[in-house]
């Protein structure tokens, strides 16, 4: 059943129990007398249909029954004075091609059912072999990732940000890396998984703490005045308590003005008020906020005014279009004007070529991050890279 938990939570278990009985009755109406309807637990039912040897194939029967189940369970239930709408997700598996044993068959129907749910519910999905391969892959990845975080096997890399006019380094973005067992796994893939595992917060703490530790140990850290930025996903920041940031900064003696927290437009999407409060509190600590991937997500320019940010990072999808795409250039010029009008700092990321760099500078954006200068590097390479740079960075007065 879709949304059964909400019924239990809001209307109580007694109502939930009565609903389950009515669901069972409706399910029975959709099958023949010698088919089986069972409730294995919670809000999950199993239907076993046998082929009777008529004109219909097993597939025809299963599709008909599954779609009827979805249709009938989507109709409202009247429980006491409540009219309840739940709906259902159905997974279909066939004997013998999807499983030789009962448990294999049910397991595969289950996987198909989860796919139906994750596709939005209210539908049926037939099992395919790649679902079980995907699940297998995912389970392996999850356990390896848990271990990686606990055993300190993640790594940080440093991506310098330069002032193109002076050639000096003004900042550095800290990015995560993970070398899985057989391949490098992108943070785009593994960060969301850690978050789904409930480890997003632990990850964010790990990143901030290790960035502080590594940076403070760099020979030039105390002489140069560049800032560093970390990425924090919405799930972690929307908790509204940010004491952990303060604690870690204090533990390492990291001055707050040297940290920039990068957020995306997604942070502001679901609960803008909470996001404003959280970001304001972070700024209250003396930490600056950057709007990452600006222009690529959900933007409300009007709202931008209300958000406590200091810096805008032009999304690299626009920079990508330079120097030839006129519309990308037009968008970039607009963002540059906007930042200037709002008194915000600005940088362009994903700058790969000399031409892109020139075009950005000509249009008034001189703070640059991208492969044109360097690729993200592990701490030791970064230290060497900085010591070779001339001039290195703004000196602390």
Write out the residues near Ca ion by the rule CB under 5 A.
231, 262, 292-293
200-216 and 243-252 helices cross at what angle (nearest 10)?
A: 20
Question: Rg of the Cα trace of the chain?
Answer: 27
The reply on whether position 351 binds ligand C2E by CB under 6 A is yes
| φ/ψ of residue 30, rounded to 5 | -90, -5
Shortest Å, Cβ 224 to ligand C2E: 21
- 371 vs 36, 277, 375, CA distance in Å? 62, 35, 5
The reply on whether position 191 binds ligand C2E by CB under 6 A is yes
Q: Which residues contact residue 7 at a Cβ distance below 8 angstroms, ignoring those fewer than 6 apart?
A: 15, 16, 19, 84, 86
Nearer Cβ to ligand C2E (110/262): 262
Pairing of strands 311-314, 345-349: parallel
Nearer Cβ to ligand C2E (176/336): 176
**Which residue in 22, 352, 381, 394 binds ligand C2E (CB under 6 A)?**
352
Shortest Å, Cβ 26 to Ca ion: 49
Shortest Å, Cβ 264 to Ca ion: 8
DSSP-H helix ranges across the chain = 4-11, 13-29, 58-73, 102-118, 129-150, 187-196, 200-216, 234-237, 243-252, 272-284, 301-304, 316-320, 326-342, 354-362, 379-388
CA nearest 297: which of 266, 262, 338?
Answer: 266
Given a contact cutoff of 8 angstroms between Cβ atoms, the answer to whether 257 and 283 are in contact is: no
CA–CA gap between residue 132 and residue 123 (Å, rounded): 19
The reply on whether position 187 binds ligand C2E by CB under 6 A is yes
Shortest Å, Cβ 262 to Ca ion: 4
The terminus-to-terminus CA distance of the chain in angstroms comes to: 65
CA–CA gap between residue 31 and residue 137 (Å, rounded): 36
The reply on whether position 376 binds ligand C2E by CB under 6 A is yes
Shortest Å, Cβ 181 to ligand C2E: 19
The reply on whether position 16 binds ligand C2E by CB under 6 A is no
Under DSSP, the state recorded for 264 is -
CA–CA gap between residue 335 and residue 343 (Å, rounded): 12
CA–CA gap between residue 46 and residue 39 (Å, rounded): 6
3-state secondary structure of 7: helix
DSSP state letters, 202-241:
HHHHHHHHHHHHHHHTSTTTTTB--EEEEE--HHHHTTS-
Nearer Cβ to ligand C2E (63/201): 201
Q: Give the length of the chain.
A: 397
Nearer Cβ to Ca ion (79/263): 263
Shortest Å, Cβ 293 to Ca ion: 4
- Reading the block at residue 197, the tokens are 């595992």
371 binds, among Ca ion, ligand C2E, none (CB under 5 to 8 A by kind): ligand C2E
**Which residue in 186, 300, 355, 358 binds ligand C2E (CB under 6 A)?**
186
The reply on whether position 328 binds ligand C2E by CB under 6 A is no
374 binds, among ligand C2E, Ca ion, none (CB under 5 to 8 A by kind): none
The reply on whether position 278 binds ligand C2E by CB under 6 A is no
Nearer Cβ to ligand C2E (159/258): 159
Nearer Cβ to ligand C2E (35/202): 202
Nearer Cβ to ligand C2E (117/201): 201
Shortest Å, Cβ 193 to ligand C2E: 12
Shortest Å, Cβ 269 to Ca ion: 16
89 binds, among Ca ion, ligand C2E, none (CB under 5 to 8 A by kind): none
CA–CA gap between residue 303 and residue 221 (Å, rounded): 36
**Which residue in 293, 312, 318, 379 binds ligand C2E (CB under 6 A)?**
293
Number of residues that bind ligand C2E (CB under 6 A): 24
Shortest Å, Cβ 171 to Ca ion: 11
The reply on whether position 297 binds ligand C2E by CB under 6 A is no
370 binds, among ligand C2E, Ca ion, none (CB under 5 to 8 A by kind): ligand C2E
Residues binding ligand C2E (CB under 6 A): 159, 175-176, 186-188, 191, 207, 230-233, 262, 292-293, 316, 349-352, 369-371, 376
């Amino acid at each position: 059943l879709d949304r059964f938990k909400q019924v239990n939570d809001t209307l109580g278990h007694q109502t939930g129990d009565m609903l389950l009985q009515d669901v069972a009755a409706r399910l029975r109406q959709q099958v023949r007398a010698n088919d089986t309807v069972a409730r294995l637990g919670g809000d999950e039912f199993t239907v076993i249909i046998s082929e009777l040897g008529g004109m219909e194939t097993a597939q025809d029967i299963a599709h008909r029954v599954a779609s009827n189940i979805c249709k009938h369970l989507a109709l409202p239930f009247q429980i006491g004075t409540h009219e309840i709408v739940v709906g259902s997700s159905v997974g279909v598996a066939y004997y013998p091609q999807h499983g030789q044993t009962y448990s294999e068959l049910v397991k595969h129907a289950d996987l198909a059912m989860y796919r139906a749910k994750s596709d939005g519910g209210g539908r049926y999905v037939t099992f395919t072999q790649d679902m079980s391969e995907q699940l297998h892959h995912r389970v392996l990845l999850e356990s390896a990732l848990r271990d990686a975080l606990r055993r300190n096997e993640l790594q940080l890399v440093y991506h310098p940000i330069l002032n193109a006019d002076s050639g000096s380094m003004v900042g550095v973005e800290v990015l995560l890396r993970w070398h899985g067992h057989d391949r490098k796994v992108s943070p785009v893939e593994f960060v969301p998984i850690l978050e789904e595992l409930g480890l997003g917060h632990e990850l964010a703490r790990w990143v901030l703490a290790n960035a502080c530790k590594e940076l403070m140990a760099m020979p030039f850290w105390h002489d140069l005045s560049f800032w560093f930025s970390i990425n924090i996903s919405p799930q972690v920041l929307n908790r509204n308590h940010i004491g952990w940031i303060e604690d870690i900064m204090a533990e390492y003696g990291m001055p707050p003005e040297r940290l920039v927290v990068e957020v995306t437009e997604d942070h502001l999407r679901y609960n803008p008020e909470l996001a404003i409060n959280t970001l304001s509190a972070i700024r209250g600590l003396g930490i600056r906020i950057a709007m990452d991937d600006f222009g690529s997500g959900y933007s409300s320019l009007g709202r931008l005014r209300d958000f406590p940010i200091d810096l805008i990072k032009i999304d690299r999808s626009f920079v990508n279009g330079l120097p030839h795409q006129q519309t990308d250039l037009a968008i970039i010029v607009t963002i540059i004007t906007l930042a200037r009008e709002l008194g915000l700092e600005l940088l362009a990321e994903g700058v790969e070529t000399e031409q892109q760099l020139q075009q950005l500078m000509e249009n008034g954006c001189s703070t640059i991050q991208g492969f044109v200068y360097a690729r993200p590097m592990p701490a030791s390479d970064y230290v060497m890279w900085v010591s070779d740079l001339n001039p290195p960075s703004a000196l602390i007065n």
